[in-house]
Amino acid sequence: RKGHNTWGVSGIAHPSTHGVKVFMKEWITPTSCNFSPFILTPTIMLILALSTWQLFPSFMLSTQLTLGVLLFLCISSLAVYTTLMAGWSSNSKYALLGAIRAMAQTISYEVTMTLIIIFYLFLTTQMDIVSIRVMNTSVWAIMLFLPLSIMWLAVILAETNRAPFDFAEGESELVSGFNIEYGGAGFAFLFMAEYSNILMMSLITSS
């Protein structure tokens, strides 16, 4: 069907209209779902994703977290529980299988990510992200962290469920994974949390 593919001047307003459309859709809950966890999980996932943004280094902040890296590891570990809760509370076997796949992958690569960060902290002797960012400007740091950056790239691809580690989607089974039963604002919250994590990992990598 030939239809419009842009809205506004050069399609600038097109993403915003799609976002408004998703939030205006009715949030239908399955009759067999566990209602309270099913409703709360997308909100908790988005809160956890946005709470990591306070750790990003900025010289405009009035406060500075001394143990910012440790807090980042704790928050990123809690995201596994929201993924499992989203699949379990749906009471759908496809959602549960997608949640188990995502949980197994996240836990597996969480160990590698933690070891890379610990090795990084041994070299910098700091747990404050702002101080680590200042230390990264030296030449010796760039030479030492180059092998780590290759492993870090594979880890963040797995942590954010991007290709080729997008096993949680289950595209070969024609289902969306642990979020298959979500629609409307719940679906939007889940994807806002996912892409917020992608942006945060990209910012940490670039800093």
Q: Is residue 197 part of a domain?
A: yes
Q: Is residue 109 part of a domain?
A: yes
pLDDT tier at 172 (50, 70, 90 boundaries)?
low
- How confident is the model at residue 38, as a pLDDT? 94
- How confident is the model at residue 59, as a pLDDT? 60
Q: Is residue 85 part of a domain?
A: yes
59 and 130 in contact (C-beta within 8 Å)?
A: yes
What is this structure's pTM? Answer: 0.85
What is the torsional sign of CA 161, 164, 165, 169? positive
- How confident is the model at residue 19, as a pLDDT? 85
Q: Is residue 10 part of a domain?
A: no
68-89 and 93-124 helices, crossing angle to 10°? 170
Model confidence at 113: pLDDT above 70: yes
Q: Is residue 2 part of a domain?
A: no
Model confidence at 81: pLDDT above 70: yes
- The DSSP call for residue 29 is P
In this prediction, residues 117-124 reach a mean pLDDT of: 86
80 and 125 in contact (C-beta within 8 Å)?
A: no
Q: Is residue 108 part of a domain?
A: yes
**Highest mean pLDDT pick, 8-22, 65-79, 160-174:** 65-79
Cα(104)–Cα(100) distance, rounded to whole angstroms? 6
Model confidence at 1: pLDDT above 60: no
Model confidence at 140: pLDDT above 90: no
DSSP 94-124: HHHHHHHHHHHHHHHHHHHHHHHHHHHHHHH
Q: Is residue 163 part of a domain?
A: yes
- How confident is the model at residue 155, as a pLDDT? 93
How many C-alpha atoms does 178 have within 13 Å on its Cβ side? 29
Cα(48)–Cα(197) distance, rounded to whole angstroms? 9
% of the chain at pLDDT higher than 90 = 38
Domain that residue 139 falls in: 66-206
In this prediction, residues 86-97 reach a mean pLDDT of: 91
Q: Which amino acid is at 9?
A: V
What are 20-58's pLDDT values in tens digits?
Answer: 888 888 888 888 899 999 999 999 999 999 998 887 766
- How confident is the model at residue 137, as a pLDDT? 66
Hey, what are 45's tokens? 């996932």
Q: DSSP H helical segments within 125-138, as ranges?
A: 129-135
- How confident is the model at residue 193, as a pLDDT? 95
Give which of 76, 58, 75 is closest to 156, Cα–Cα.
76
Give the chain's domain count. Answer: 1
Q: Is residue 158 part of a domain?
A: yes
